[in-house]
Amino acid sequence: MVRPIINNVSVDCVIFGFDNTSLNVLLTKRELTDPESGEVILQDYTMQGHHVLENENLDNAAKRVLKDKTGLENIFLKQFHTFGDTDRLLKEKDQLWLKTKFPMVLNHVITVAYYSLVDSTKIKPDHQHQDSKWFPVNDLPELGFDHEKIIKMALEYLQEEIRREPIGFELLPEKFTLTQLQNLYEVILNTALDRRNFRKKVAQMKYVIPLNEKQKGVAHKPAQVFIFSRDVYDRTKKEKLDFSI
Protein backbone atom coordinates (compact mmCIF):
# COMPACT_ATOMS: atom_id res chain seq x y z
CA MET A 1 0.00 0.00 0.00
CA VAL A 2 1.47 3.28 -1.08
CA ARG A 3 0.56 6.28 0.96
CA PRO A 4 0.35 9.62 -0.81
CA ILE A 5 2.88 12.30 0.02
CA ILE A 6 2.27 15.57 1.78
CA ASN A 7 3.42 17.78 -1.01
CA ASN A 8 4.56 20.81 0.97
CA VAL A 9 6.48 19.13 3.79
CA SER A 10 9.72 17.24 3.45
CA VAL A 11 12.42 15.84 5.66
CA ASP A 12 16.14 16.34 5.10
CA CYS A 13 18.75 14.32 6.87
CA VAL A 14 22.34 15.44 7.24
CA ILE A 15 24.21 12.14 7.51
CA PHE A 16 27.51 12.53 9.32
CA GLY A 17 30.27 9.96 9.18
CA PHE A 18 33.84 9.89 10.43
CA ASP A 19 36.88 8.31 8.81
CA ASN A 20 39.50 9.03 11.50
CA THR A 21 40.56 12.09 9.60
CA SER A 22 37.56 14.22 8.87
CA LEU A 23 33.90 14.58 9.60
CA ASN A 24 32.02 13.81 6.43
CA VAL A 25 28.56 14.24 5.03
CA LEU A 26 26.87 11.80 2.70
CA LEU A 27 25.61 13.55 -0.42
CA THR A 28 23.90 12.47 -3.59
CA LYS A 29 24.78 13.69 -7.02
CA ARG A 30 22.20 15.65 -8.97
CA GLU A 31 22.70 15.97 -12.69
CA LEU A 32 20.77 17.24 -15.67
CA THR A 33 21.86 16.87 -19.24
CA ASP A 34 20.44 18.66 -22.23
CA PRO A 35 18.36 16.03 -24.02
CA GLU A 36 19.53 17.30 -27.42
CA SER A 37 23.17 18.19 -27.06
CA GLY A 38 23.80 15.73 -24.24
CA GLU A 39 25.62 18.55 -22.50
CA VAL A 40 25.62 18.61 -18.71
CA ILE A 41 23.61 21.64 -17.72
CA LEU A 42 23.38 21.03 -13.99
CA GLN A 43 25.65 19.13 -11.69
CA ASP A 44 25.86 19.40 -7.97
CA TYR A 45 25.00 17.56 -4.79
CA THR A 46 22.05 17.50 -2.43
CA MET A 47 20.85 15.57 0.57
CA GLN A 48 18.02 14.14 -1.44
CA GLY A 49 15.26 14.60 1.10
CA HIS A 50 11.90 12.97 0.90
CA HIS A 51 8.42 14.25 1.32
CA VAL A 52 6.58 13.25 4.42
CA LEU A 53 3.78 10.80 3.77
CA GLU A 54 0.17 11.21 4.75
CA ASN A 55 -0.27 9.78 8.19
CA GLU A 56 3.45 9.53 8.87
CA ASN A 57 5.23 10.99 11.87
CA LEU A 58 8.15 13.28 11.12
CA ASP A 59 10.62 11.10 12.96
CA ASN A 60 9.52 8.10 10.98
CA ALA A 61 9.92 9.98 7.75
CA ALA A 62 13.48 10.80 8.78
CA LYS A 63 14.16 7.16 9.64
CA ARG A 64 12.82 6.18 6.25
CA VAL A 65 15.17 8.59 4.48
CA LEU A 66 18.09 7.31 6.48
CA LYS A 67 17.24 3.69 5.76
CA ASP A 68 16.96 4.50 2.13
CA LYS A 69 20.33 6.21 1.96
CA THR A 70 22.35 3.93 4.21
CA GLY A 71 20.43 0.71 4.68
CA LEU A 72 20.74 1.26 8.42
CA GLU A 73 18.14 1.36 11.16
CA ASN A 74 18.24 2.36 14.81
CA ILE A 75 20.63 5.15 14.09
CA PHE A 76 21.16 8.29 16.12
CA LEU A 77 18.88 10.89 14.64
CA LYS A 78 18.11 14.35 15.92
CA GLN A 79 15.77 16.97 14.61
CA PHE A 80 17.46 20.34 14.81
CA HIS A 81 15.65 22.93 12.69
CA THR A 82 12.87 23.48 10.22
CA PHE A 83 13.59 25.48 7.11
CA GLY A 84 10.66 27.21 5.53
CA ASP A 85 11.88 30.29 3.75
CA THR A 86 9.66 30.99 0.80
CA ASP A 87 12.63 31.34 -1.53
CA ARG A 88 14.47 28.21 -0.56
CA LEU A 89 13.68 26.38 -3.80
CA LEU A 90 13.65 29.38 -6.08
CA LYS A 91 17.23 29.54 -7.32
CA GLU A 92 17.25 29.18 -11.08
CA LYS A 93 19.03 25.85 -11.18
CA ASP A 94 16.79 24.39 -8.52
CA GLN A 95 13.68 25.43 -10.40
CA LEU A 96 15.09 23.89 -13.55
CA TRP A 97 15.70 20.66 -11.68
CA LEU A 98 12.28 20.58 -10.09
CA LYS A 99 10.37 21.45 -13.25
CA THR A 100 12.24 18.76 -15.13
CA LYS A 101 12.20 15.98 -12.61
CA PHE A 102 9.45 16.71 -10.11
CA PRO A 103 6.88 18.89 -11.82
CA MET A 104 4.35 18.11 -9.12
CA VAL A 105 6.45 19.63 -6.34
CA LEU A 106 5.37 23.02 -5.07
CA ASN A 107 7.53 26.10 -4.98
CA HIS A 108 7.25 26.40 -1.23
CA VAL A 109 8.19 23.28 0.65
CA ILE A 110 8.91 23.34 4.35
CA THR A 111 11.62 20.91 5.29
CA VAL A 112 12.23 19.51 8.73
CA ALA A 113 15.95 18.89 9.07
CA TYR A 114 17.60 16.13 11.08
CA TYR A 115 21.16 15.13 11.51
CA SER A 116 22.27 11.57 12.03
CA LEU A 117 25.51 10.03 13.18
CA VAL A 118 26.49 6.77 11.55
CA ASP A 119 29.38 4.40 11.82
CA SER A 120 30.32 4.60 8.17
CA THR A 121 32.02 1.20 8.26
CA LYS A 122 28.57 -0.29 8.76
CA ILE A 123 26.97 1.00 5.60
CA LYS A 124 25.92 -1.97 3.53
CA PRO A 125 27.68 -2.47 0.19
CA ASP A 126 24.53 -2.18 -1.87
CA HIS A 127 24.21 1.36 -0.60
CA GLN A 128 27.72 2.35 -1.60
CA HIS A 129 26.93 3.16 -5.23
CA GLN A 130 23.86 5.33 -5.82
CA ASP A 131 25.84 8.39 -6.82
CA SER A 132 26.23 8.91 -3.10
CA LYS A 133 29.54 10.12 -1.82
CA TRP A 134 31.13 11.32 1.39
CA PHE A 135 32.44 14.86 1.52
CA PRO A 136 34.36 16.51 4.35
CA VAL A 137 32.02 18.91 6.05
CA ASN A 138 34.73 21.53 5.76
CA ASP A 139 35.15 21.03 2.07
CA LEU A 140 31.73 20.61 0.56
CA PRO A 141 31.04 20.51 -3.16
CA GLU A 142 28.52 22.79 -4.81
CA LEU A 143 25.17 22.11 -3.24
CA GLY A 144 21.59 22.47 -4.39
CA PHE A 145 18.73 24.31 -2.70
CA ASP A 146 19.60 25.66 0.76
CA HIS A 147 21.48 22.53 1.65
CA GLU A 148 24.73 24.25 2.42
CA LYS A 149 22.96 26.35 5.02
CA ILE A 150 21.29 23.25 6.43
CA ILE A 151 24.55 21.33 6.72
CA LYS A 152 26.36 24.23 8.34
CA MET A 153 23.62 24.56 10.90
CA ALA A 154 23.61 20.82 11.50
CA LEU A 155 27.30 21.03 12.33
CA GLU A 156 26.69 23.83 14.80
CA TYR A 157 24.00 21.84 16.56
CA LEU A 158 26.23 18.78 16.60
CA GLN A 159 29.05 20.80 18.15
CA GLU A 160 26.74 21.93 20.90
CA GLU A 161 25.22 18.55 21.50
CA ILE A 162 28.49 16.68 21.70
CA ARG A 163 29.52 18.82 24.66
CA ARG A 164 26.47 17.75 26.55
CA GLU A 165 25.82 14.20 25.52
CA PRO A 166 27.99 11.21 24.71
CA ILE A 167 26.95 10.98 21.10
CA GLY A 168 30.39 10.88 19.51
CA PHE A 169 30.45 7.12 19.92
CA GLU A 170 27.70 6.84 17.35
CA LEU A 171 30.26 7.80 14.73
CA LEU A 172 32.79 5.15 15.72
CA PRO A 173 32.84 1.40 15.31
CA GLU A 174 31.73 -0.49 18.37
CA LYS A 175 35.34 -0.99 19.40
CA PHE A 176 37.62 1.99 19.23
CA THR A 177 40.85 3.38 20.64
CA LEU A 178 41.23 6.52 22.66
CA THR A 179 43.21 8.13 19.89
CA GLN A 180 40.31 7.58 17.53
CA LEU A 181 37.97 9.09 20.07
CA GLN A 182 40.23 12.07 20.55
CA ASN A 183 40.56 12.63 16.82
CA LEU A 184 36.81 12.59 16.59
CA TYR A 185 36.42 15.27 19.22
CA GLU A 186 39.17 17.35 17.70
CA VAL A 187 37.61 17.21 14.28
CA ILE A 188 34.09 17.97 15.42
CA LEU A 189 35.06 20.72 17.81
CA ASN A 190 37.71 21.96 15.45
CA THR A 191 40.32 22.27 18.15
CA ALA A 192 43.42 20.52 19.42
CA LEU A 193 43.17 18.60 22.68
CA ASP A 194 45.97 17.54 24.97
CA ARG A 195 46.35 13.77 24.94
CA ARG A 196 46.99 13.30 28.63
CA ASN A 197 44.23 15.62 29.70
CA PHE A 198 41.83 14.04 27.27
CA ARG A 199 42.57 10.61 28.68
CA LYS A 200 42.10 11.83 32.22
CA LYS A 201 38.64 13.05 31.22
CA VAL A 202 37.72 9.81 29.54
CA ALA A 203 38.95 7.84 32.53
CA GLN A 204 36.21 9.55 34.56
CA MET A 205 33.59 8.38 32.13
CA LYS A 206 32.67 5.04 33.58
CA TYR A 207 30.71 4.25 30.48
CA VAL A 208 33.82 4.12 28.33
CA ILE A 209 35.00 0.63 29.12
CA PRO A 210 38.41 -0.86 28.35
CA LEU A 211 38.48 -4.35 26.87
CA ASN A 212 41.21 -6.95 27.32
CA GLU A 213 42.03 -6.52 23.74
CA LYS A 214 44.52 -4.64 21.65
CA GLN A 215 44.50 -3.08 18.25
CA LYS A 216 45.81 -5.41 15.56
CA GLY A 217 47.74 -5.04 12.32
CA VAL A 218 49.38 -1.73 13.08
CA ALA A 219 53.09 -1.16 12.66
CA HIS A 220 53.55 0.37 16.07
CA LYS A 221 52.56 -0.12 19.65
CA PRO A 222 48.96 -1.36 19.51
CA ALA A 223 46.42 0.64 21.47
CA GLN A 224 43.93 -0.69 23.95
CA VAL A 225 40.41 -1.12 22.68
CA PHE A 226 37.36 0.43 24.35
CA ILE A 227 33.61 0.21 24.04
CA PHE A 228 30.91 2.68 24.96
CA SER A 229 28.11 1.43 27.19
CA ARG A 230 24.92 3.39 26.91
CA ASP A 231 23.59 1.25 29.69
CA VAL A 232 26.20 2.39 32.14
CA TYR A 233 25.77 5.93 30.92
CA ASP A 234 22.05 5.93 31.51
CA ARG A 235 22.53 4.52 34.96
CA THR A 236 25.18 7.02 36.02
CA LYS A 237 24.23 10.29 34.43
CA LYS A 238 21.92 11.67 37.11
CA GLU A 239 22.64 15.36 37.19
CA LYS A 240 24.82 17.04 34.64
CA LEU A 241 25.97 19.83 36.94
CA ASP A 242 27.60 22.03 34.37
CA PHE A 243 25.90 25.34 35.16
CA SER A 244 27.82 27.96 33.42
CA ILE A 245 26.46 30.70 35.54
Positions touching a second copy (CB under 8 A) are: 6, 8-9, 52, 54-58, 79, 81-86, 108, 110, 112, 160, 162-164, 185, 189, 191, 193, 198, 201, 242-245
- Per-residue buried b or exposed e for 219-237, using 16+ beta carbons within 10 Å of the residue's own CB: eeeeeebbbbbeeebeeee
Q: Looking at beta carbons only, is 55 or 197 nearer to DNA? A: 197
Q: Looking at beta carbons only, is 106 or 218 nearer to a second copy? A: 106
CB atoms within 10 A of CB 156: 12
E strands present in 56-184: 76-83, 110-117, 132-136
Q: Looking at beta carbons only, is 216 or 238 nearer to DNA? A: 216
Residue 179 site contact among DNA, a second copy, none (CB < 5 to 8 Å, cut-off depends on kind): DNA
Q: Looking at beta carbons only, is 104 or 219 nearer to DNA? A: 219
What is the 3-state secondary structure of 3-54?
CCEEEEEEEEEEEEEECCCCEEEEEEEEEEECCCCCCEEEEEEECCCEEEEC
CB of 70 to a second copy, least distance (A): 22
CB of 57 to a second copy, least distance (A): 5
Which amino acid is it at 87?
Answer: D
Q: Looking at beta carbons only, is 36 or 87 nearer to a second copy? A: 87
Q: Which of residues 162-221 bind DNA (CB under 7 A)?
A: 177-179, 194-197, 199-201, 214-216, 218-221
Q: What is the H or E stretch that residue 95 is in?
A: helix 92-101
Q: Between β-strands 5-18 and 110-117, what pairing exists: parallel, antiparallel or unpaired?
A: parallel
Q: Residues 55-94: x/- map of binding to DNA (CB under 7 A)? A: ----------------------------------------
Q: How many residues can be counted in the chain?
A: 245
CB of 181 to a second copy, least distance (A): 10
CB of 202 to DNA, least distance (A): 10
Residue 68 site contact among DNA, a second copy, none (CB < 5 to 8 Å, cut-off depends on kind): none
* SS3 state of residue 224: strand
Interatomic CA distance for residues 69 and 134, integer angstroms: 12
Q: Looking at beta carbons only, is 139 or 243 nearer to a second copy? A: 243
Contact in structure between 158 and 18 (CB atoms under 8 Å):
no
Look at residues 148, 157, 154, 159 and name the one whose alpha carbon lies nearest to residue 188.
159
Q: What angle do CA 68, 129, 117 make, to 5 degrees?
A: 50
Q: Residues 116-155: x/- map of binding to DNA (CB under 7 A)? A: ----------------------------------------
Contact positions vs DNA (CB under 7 A): 177-179, 194-197, 199-201, 214-216, 218-224, 241, 243-244
